[in-house]
Amino acid sequence: MIRLLSSDLDGTLLGDRHATQRFRAFWEALNPATRPILVYNSGRLIDDIEALLSVSDLPEPDYTIGGVGTMIGGRLDVTGRQRFGQTLGQPFEREALMRIMRRIDGISLQDEAVQHAHKSSWHLHDADEETITELERSLADAGLPARLVYSSSRDLDVLPRSASKGAALTWLCRELDVDLSDTVVAGDTGNDSDMFLLADVRGIVVANALEELRSLTSHEDRHYMAQRSCADGVIEGLQHFGVMTHHTPA
């Protein structure tokens, strides 16, 4: 039985407006008493997700995970959000972080709107694994132990060592008493990979997913490689895992 869906937004539930509309119709056709808990798990910050929900065709989620696993919103109360925040540790010392990051040739800071105390986001085109590993080592040597998430051959997020989309999802599932074996995740890029790598979860890789995610998931039978793109692929995957309506939206 699928009790929770954790899905990325951009390139997964978003990217094709008609597909997003079909996903909403599919979701709202499920029995509200038995349909899975809906979690949006995005690189966007929580405020950005909430603003997006007011103008998009997405159904209202039960919970939101933002900032590549560094923020939780939705039905979680203030005390719950504080408990989650404590798992991330102290914010980065911004100036020390900036000094090290700016040593990297070709790197540029993303817009201020996507930054917060536990997430520093950059653009770095076509970096190899050695560059990312060396940067992570330099940060640790400077007393700034960090987790680096690189995706789309461009986007580099600097996070606390304990932070990731998967870690935040694990914490939320524990709070909600939902087993990971009853959880389905959906995504399209490398920054979704930590959700798919969680033991026992089942995953939906949409057809438009990048190779960086496909290469990590295609050899595991517990993950479903959808034939359709974006939100249509999520619908396809949910049906594969037994989440069905009495009728399928056209």
Last residue of a domain, which of 121, 140, 160?
160
Mean pLDDT over each residue of the chain, to the nearest integer: 95
Checking if the pLDDT of 229 tops 60, the result is: yes
C-alpha triplet 133, 137, 139: angle, nearest 5° = 120
Nearest CA to 66 out of 174, 151, 172 is that of 172
Residue 205 lies in a domain: yes
Residue 195 lies in a domain: yes
Checking if the pLDDT of 86 tops 90, the result is: yes
Torsion sign across C-alpha atoms 75, 79, 81, 83: negative
Average pLDDT over residues 165-188: 98
Region of 121 on the Ramachandran plot (φ > 0 left; ψ -120 to 50 alpha; else beta): beta
pLDDT in tens, 41-69: 999 999 999 999 999 999 999 999 999 99
Three-state SS for 148?
strand
Both 80 and 198 in a single domain? yes
The CA-atom distances, in angstroms, between 5 and each of 59, 139, 220, 238 are 13, 34, 19, 9
Last residue of a domain, which of 131, 160, 189?
160
Beta carbons of 66 and 46 less than 8 angstroms apart: yes
Both 180 and 138 in a single domain? no
pLDDT in tens, 105-123: 999 999 998 999 999 999 9
Domain that holds residue 151: 94-160
Three-state SS for 6?
strand
Both 103 and 177 in a single domain? no
Both 172 and 78 in a single domain? yes
Question: pLDDT-based confidence at 247, cuts 50/70/90?
Answer: low
Question: pLDDT-based confidence at 246, cuts 50/70/90?
Answer: low
Checking if the pLDDT of 186 tops 70, the result is: yes
Using only C-alpha atoms, the chain has a radius of gyration, in whole angstroms, of 18
Last residue of a domain, which of 108, 125, 160?
160
Residue 113 per-residue DSSP state: G
Checking if the pLDDT of 224 tops 50, the result is: yes
How many domains would you assign to the chain? 2
